[in-house]
Structure 1
Amino acid sequence: MKKVILLAMICLGTWTSKAQYSEKEIEAKIDSILPLLTLKEKVAMCHAQSKFSSPGVSRLGIPEVWMSDGPHGVRAEISWDSWNYAGWTNDSITAFPALTCLAASFNDSLSYAYGVAVGEEARYREKDILLGPGVNIYRTPMNGRNFEYMGEDPYLASRLVVPYIKGVQKNGVAACVKHYALNNQERWRDHINVEVSDRALYEIYLPAFKAAVEEGEAWSIMGAYNQFRGQHCCHNEILLNNILKNDWGFDGVVVTDWGGAHDTKESALHGLDIEMGTGTNGLTYSKVNAYENYYLAGPFLEMLENKEVEESIVDDKVRRILRLIYRTSLNPNRPLGSVNTTAHHEVARKVAQEGIVLLKNKEDIFPIKDETEITIAVIGENATRMMTRGGGSSELKPQFEVSPLEGIKARYKNAKITYAMGYASGAPAYARVNPSPYDADSLKSIAIDVAKKADLVLFVGGLNKNHHQDCEGGDRKIYNLPFGQEALIDELYAVNKNLGVVMVSGNAVAMPWLSKTKGLIQAWYLGSMTGHALADVVSGDVNPSGKLPFSFPKKLEDNGAYAFGEISYPGDSIMQEYKEDILVGYRWHDTKKIAPEFAFGYGLSYTDFSISNIQSDQSIYAANEAITVSFDVKNEGGITGAEVVQVYTGKIKSKVPRALKELKGYQKLAIASGASQPGTVTINVSDLAYYDDSISEWVVEPGDYYLYVGNASNNITKKIRISISKKSRS
């Protein structure tokens, strides 16, 4: 036995002083370890031993794999065998803005900084896998979990997910990209069978995952709860074996979403590596250890022993798990990590500042000056409510959370700040009814009285992380603002026309009250530094530069998922068909000529920008070339700011149905007042391809295209006509 342990320690590299293992060395070490493992030990590595860990092999010094929820921060420690919090006093962390906010920044380098910071905190907490980021596509504004994702556009999500992953994994912590795939609603998420065309699958719903694997080199992927073409996504032959592992060459670990496994043979054969969170009765295999009831536990071992499944199947799973362990806990160059540092707080604040979107600014109500003669009435529960609580698995335990009201009070030293709650929503919980101790009429009456006496009213409302709002486990019930906020806004406007609104949400909402506000700021869920970041923008210390990562329909029926009846959304409880196909988000609005309330890519500034001298480097391109679009951006106002120039492409007279235009490039430029700056966006001709499901290949259609250059999907400064030839240029 001692010889075996000694050999294992040498194989694992415990005694080496080498700075870093090469991939070749890791594979050689894994080859030497596999023969030392018993079949039972191999199977044990493929399923949970607690709520958030899977076992190693102590006999050989193979460490456990420890996981934690993300992606906006490391979740508080969960008990070993229940969903209760462990009650630790040293697990407080930095809460980073939700990924909708990061997406709104249109800033790739900021995504990397975000990933590095959250990865450092995960490393400090001794986690091997951080369960995030999420890149499911924003298909409908009713999805309760949209706030965790990167918007409606596959190109934007692909651009931002790669640096996030690289930042996290720099710390020797695996990013676990989720939820693969088509988990675009919470209602019936555990069983709904999604039917979608191959075109929509490849063009809309898979690109961000593909980029995460091929460019980000993600070390783990989390399967989705739902089914796709009759198989659950956590053990899906098409998604996991054919596309992920074969076509994309993914060499990492596939982890179930918690409770996402449903069958032993499918789990064994269809791409699953680690099973987590399965509900068990503790009776079939062991009353003591219910984890032996998992599909990839006792039943899997029996199938292997009975030769119903080849041992090579479990060996592949263990090889992937060992590879992940070498990249994380057995990485000799793994940094120590840190938590709640000033640098992390600065990253959280910077992401929030750049993600906040100014949607309306009539009569320049924003920025609000800090003057002694002004009284600002801050109205709304969301001005004081902690938004890191609730929401499901993304709930966080931050060391602190600066509320909007606290941030405004800290920034405004001269103006008089008054506050009234205005409305109440109840505790963040999964209960269907969250009773509130407040009387709604009294709250409204007090708020109206406060508003009457103010020079300016700043209403801070929106959604929160209650069930059936921005929350895991259930979709929204209504598109309108809840808790009587719309009536409150009407009454505030009746007594004070100088009304600005700060919308805190991870989703679009109906805005029948929009004409009654002078200004509107989309503030998202901003994490620990919420109040300071919001005050930075409201005061003008920071010029807003965020752009919407998804469209805001005027009414729910304007969203593409709602144009084809209930079978399209939410489905009939068993089946769902994505009948809008590739026309998701702005693609739907543009192509069907349905004006949104606010368009994808839209966002105002406190200064004025002009885009000029827009041109492409050629007019005719070969199939193997790249298109370079150049332009100049001038800041014509009196404040330094940043503009996002967006380049879309569209095929003229295509032989297949296509969107009017699709985002293919962007550049964010920070420009001083009065200055000009040149910019370029490069697009590979191959990126103009559509997925031809008749031959299962990407095809670049020759002919004429438009390049659309502007600063929002519906605000195009110039169209340039180009041609793509059939041949490559030698």
Structure 2
Amino acid sequence: MKSKIIVGLILAVFGFNTITAQNMSEMDKKIEKILSQLTLEEKVAMCHAQSKFSSPGVPRLGIPEIWMSDGPHGVRGEINWDNWGYANWTNDSITAFPALTALAATFNPELSYQYGVAVGEEARYRRKDVLLGPGVNIYRTPLNGRNFEYMGEDPLLASVMVVPYIKGVQENGVAACVKHYALNNQEEWRGHINVNVSDRALHEIYLPAFKAAVEEGKVWSIMGAYNKFRGQHCCHNEILLNKILKEDWNFDGTVITDWGGAHDTREAALYGLDIEMGTWTNGLTSSVDLMYENYFLAKPFLKMLQSGEIDESVVDDKARRILRLMLRTNMNMSRSTGRMNNQEHHDVARAVAAEGIVMLKNNDEFFPIDPEKQLTIAVIGENATRRMTVGGGSSELKAQYEISPLEGIKARFQKARILHAMGYASGPSAYGREIPSKYDAELLRNEAVETAKNADVVLYFGGLNKNHFQDCEGGDRKSYELPFEQNELLDALAAVNKNIGVVLISGNAVEMPWLENIKGLMQAWYLGSDAGYAIADVISGDKNPSGKLPFTFPVKLEDNAAHYFGELSYPGDSIDQYYKEGTLVGYRWHETKNIEPQFAFGYGLSYTSFDLSDINTDKKSYETGDKIVLSCSVKNRGEKDGSEVVQVYVGKPGSKVERAVKELKGFTKVELKSGSSETVGIDIDVKNLAYYNTEKADWEVEKGEYILYVGNASNQISKKLKIRID
């Protein structure tokens, strides 16, 4: 309460109490008034950490500290002031929301907004000013250990889904911090690998979601990436931060390092960084007394300013941006107090989880399984009981509760006889190292086979987990196949029972040599607090699956574009790597090179069936300032209510530059009762058909013929339409 009174006093002194979009110019005037009263030392102090998750304010003026927390799937448990141990608070357990891969798979921007509001309320209740998320790095390789935190392989999908998330979070007076800007598409050598990528690929694939976050989402903070781009670390990069972010996109917020992402005082000062956060001193090395004073933007920065080597206008710009962040968050007296662990948050988490589940295979109508039948169900797999809110690196959560898949199945299928066997085992969760399991793999497999022999139904819960070398920060996967001999286990189960359904829990695609031996397959992601309930909702048919894949599942690793070009493309030679596939990422590569995927981008089955018909555009010829208005009739011709995602891809035959056969340019999700139909509209701005012209360093819309592909997956097209751009 005392800090709130102090902040109120300074707000009263400077003449304002609430901050709205209408008085932004007034905000800037107040920033200048505050700035004029700050000493050089105070301005510098605001530019670096004072603890693991806070940066200082100015006590003599009543300007508060900034408190940050890891996200984006929930507010991380409280960390100690000066080390990475947990503080062991008893009141920091939160709602765990589904990972962002699951959110992206919903193809539902409204759910993204609800997610953002809910997680923002929890951050606000925990008195956080900055939530470190969401992540929008592009899914380039299925080996990236951090893909589960991102929104897939397509820049449009990530752009559309990130904007409402940001708006929802920031409604609470909490800054979203979109990360990791930019090109942080692998964990291997992430701290120093120099990414070489064409300007076209940079602007067309890897930057659009960040741009949308800034220009449409009006995000208040951005986190730099660990890696290098064109020889400079991304946390102080002249091209990415000064030229593109702050000049071209007019970003008025604060750039924050990833922890330990700064490497040089002069570059940090001059090339766009505003707040330096970190682990130890000078790039994750060692601890010393008063370590925060030795950060690059601390005493070394102050000395360069005092000597005149760096002009004071440099620190003034940083201080302005930090003050603006404060006025939007901890100095905004109109913001709410937030809420945590309430029923509405649990409902949002469960809704996202159920809607994000993607059904990939359903032979003989294996799914749904009738919960009213007296079946013997064998639940096999460690992932049926393993906690998935812990581990994974900085996105680890201290959930108030976590319902496992086994618990969810038992709760919903009360008339069934439920058997369980682990089948396989990984080691305990550990960040930065791999701990082997203490269990005997052969004994576990034999037990699982015996359990499955006489069951009516086998439900296998496998995939990855959040251990090191799985879906985890700090390291990439070692191979594309399922770990812990799961392939062999699935073969053994199929030999004794043909009625098998697999539920993969992962944030990444996996190799599937066992696919022909199973009847049903669902991709279930990491689904947070209510994971087990949401999975049971879909398996039982209480919820009709409507998720669509936000990235392509290749048959084999070499079918992925990043791996097709060899080690210099991924993971690089430890110094440099080259994105040789250019703009042909994910489905763009598969479609253009005629490589059949295991499962395509945008693909997902339902318990009902849909027809797309009467697909038309408002006209056949457009100019560059026009909007293409496409209409499509969607009919639910099945017996169950359900939702379908209408997807519009656009291609440019005979383009003067290399292009993918087609690229996603619009989508909409429609919910329909059994037997009903609805006409939906999808508008596409002609300017969004542009490619990035590297000779002009600007976007250009080619004139001529285009093809619109309308369907419900990148490789399932119901109709093609030809239009012209004149």
Give the TM-score, by structure 1 length: 0.97
Provide the residue aligned with 1:322 in structure 2: 323
Q: Which moved more, 1:224-233 or 1:621-630?
A: 621-630
**Which residue in 1 is equivalent to 2:498?**
497
Q: Do structure 1's residue 356 and structure 2's residue 396 form an aligned pair? A: no
CA distance in 1, matches of 2:36, 2:676: 66
Cross-structure match for 1:13: 12
Distance between the aligned counterparts of 1:179 and 1:554, measured in 2?
Answer: 29
**Counterpart contact for 1:372–1:416, Cα < 8 Å:** no
Matched to 2:578, the amino acid is E
Match runs of 1:413-428 below 5 Å: 413-428=414-429
Structure 1 counterpart of 2:65, one-letter code: E
Q: What amino acid sits opposite 1:115 in the alignment?
A: G
CA–CA separation in structure 2 for the residues paired with 1:631 and 1:40: 61
Determine whether 1:518 maps to 2:519.
yes
Distance (Å, rounded) in 1 between the aligned partners of 2:323 and 2:17 = 18
| CA shift for structure 1 position 23 | 1.1
Match for residue 256 of structure 1? 257
Q: Give the CA deviation at 1:435.
A: 2.4
Distance across 2 between alignment mates of 1:244 and 1:109 = 27
What pairs with 1:318-717 in structure 2 (closer than 5 Å)? 318-430=319-431, 432-717=433-718
1:587-629 deviation per Cα after TM superposition (whole angstroms, max 9, x unaligned): 0000000000000000000001000001111111111100011
SS for the counterpart of 2:68 is strand
Question: Per-residue deviation at 1:373?
Answer: 3.1
Alignment-derived partner of residue 39 in structure 1: 40
Letter of the aligned partner of 1:13 in structure 2?
Answer: A
Q: Aligned-pair distance for 1:279?
A: 2.5
Aligned partner of 1:208 in structure 2 is 209
Q: How does 1:44-443 map to 2 (within 5 A)?
A: 44-280=45-281, 288-430=289-431, 432-443=433-444
1:318-372: per-residue Cα shift (whole Å, max 9, x none)? Answer: 0000000000011121001010000000000000011000000000000001244
Partner secondary structure for residue 530 of structure 2 = helix
Contact residue 48 and residue 277 of structure 2 kept, 8 A: yes
Q: Report the alpha carbon displacement of residue 29 of structure 1 after superposing the two structures with TM.
A: 1.1
Distance 1:585 1:17 in 2: 49
Contact 1:261/1:278 (<8 A) preserved: no
TM-score (norm. length: structure 2) = 0.97
Q: Distance in 2 between matches of 1:20 and 1:574?
A: 46
Cα separation, 2, equivalents of 1:193 and 1:439: 42
Q: Distance in 2 between matches of 1:231 and 1:299?
A: 19
Q: CA offset at residue 10 of structure 1?
A: 6.2
Structure 1: gaps (5+ residues): 1-5, 726-730
Report the CA distance between 1:288 and its aligned residue. Answer: 3.5
Label 1:286 to 1:32 Cα distance change in 2 as closer, same or farther (>3 A).
farther
Q: Which amino acid aligns with 2:12?
A: G
Structure 2, unpaired ranges of 5+:
none
Q: SS at 2:157's partner residue?
A: helix
CA distance in 2, matches of 1:16, 1:528: 44
Give the paired residue count: 719
Provide the secondary structure at the position in 2 that maps to 1:410: helix
- The Cα of 1:33 is off from its aligned counterpart by 1.0
SS of 1:614's equivalent?
strand
Amino acid aligned to 1:419: H
> Quick one: which amino acid aligns to residue 455 of structure 1?
D
1:554 is aligned with what amino acid? V
Partner Cα separation in structure 2 for residue 486 and residue 27 of structure 1: 60
Question: Is the CA contact (8 Å cut-off) linking 1:285 and 1:293 kept in structure 2?
Answer: no
What residue is the counterpart of 1:728 in the other structure? none
Does the aligned pair in 1 maintain the 2:19–2:327 contact within 8 Å? Answer: no
Q: 1:61-98, CA deviations, whole angstroms, 9 ceiling, x for partnerless residues?
A: 00000000000000000000000001101000000000
**Structure 2: distance between partners of 1:660 and 1:618:** 23
How many angstroms does 1:124 deviate by? Answer: 0.2
1:678–1:51: structure 2 CA closer, same or farther, 3 Å change rule?
same
SS at match of 1:390: coil
Cα distance, 1:83–1:48 mapped onto 2, change above 3 Å? same
- Cα deviation digits, residues 489-513 of structure 1 (max 9, x gap): 0010000000000000000000000
Q: 1:281 to 1:680 in 2, by over 3 A?
A: closer
Secondary structure of the 1:376 match is: strand
Deviation at 1:12, TM superposition (A): 3.3
Task: For residue 705 of structure 1, report the CA deviation from its aligned partner.
Answer: 0.4
Distance 1:44 1:332 in 2: 24
The amino acid across from 1:166 in the alignment is K
Whole-Å separation in 2 of the counterparts to 1:27 and 1:117: 30
**Cα distance between partner residues in 2 of 1:99 and 1:433:** 25
- The one-letter code sitting in structure 2 at the alignment partner of 1:358 is M
Task: Report the Cα offset of residue 436 of structure 1.
Answer: 1.6
Deviation at 1:433, TM superposition (A): 3.5
Q: Give the Å deviation of 1:244.
A: 0.1
Structure 1 residue 437 displacement after superposition: 2.0
Kindly provide the amino acid, as one letter, of the partner of residue 336 in structure 1: T
Q: Distance in 2 between matches of 1:238 and 1:369?
A: 57
Aligned partners of 1:223 and 1:233 also within 8 Å: yes
- 1:473 partner SS: coil
Amino acid aligned to 1:665: G
Cα distance in 2 for partners of 1:368, 1:462 equals 21
Q: Distance in 1 between matches of 2:287 and 2:107?
A: 51
> 2: CA distance between counterparts of 1:186 and 1:561?
14
Distance, in Å, in 1 between the alignment partners of 2:97 and 2:434 is 29
CA distance in 1, matches of 2:693, 2:150: 27
Question: Is the Cα contact below 8 Å between 1:70 and 1:131 reproduced in 2?
Answer: yes
Distance in 2, Cα, partners of 1:412 & 1:310: 69
1:487 aligned partner, one-letter code: E
Residues 434, 468 of structure 2: 8 Å contact kept: no
Give the aligned residue type for 2:44: V
Distance in 1 between the 2:654 and 2:479 partners? 39
Deviation at 1:432, TM superposition (A): 3.9
Query: Helix, strand or coil for the counterpart of 2:103?
Result: helix
Is contact 1:567-1:577 (8 Å) kept? yes
Contact 1:9 1:60 in 2 (8 A): no
The one-letter code of the counterpart of 1:655 is K
Q: Which residue is equivalent to 1:3?
A: none
Give per-residue Cα distances to partners, 1:522-576, cap 9 Å, x unaligned.
0000000000000000000000000000000000000000121111000000000
Query: Within 2, Cα distance between the matches of 1:659 and 1:8?
Result: 53
Distance in 1, matches of 2:241 and 2:81, equals: 29
Contact 1:285–1:298, Cα closer than 8 Å, also in 2 = no
Distance 2:625 2:575 in 1: 44
SS at match of 1:511: coil
The percentage of aligned residue pairs carrying the same residue is 68
Equivalent pair of 2:426/2:484 in contact (CA under 8 Å) = yes
Query: Alpha carbons of 1:388 and 1:333: their partners in 2 closer, same or farther (altered >3 Å)?
Result: same
Mapped partners of 2:696, 2:542: distance in 1: 54
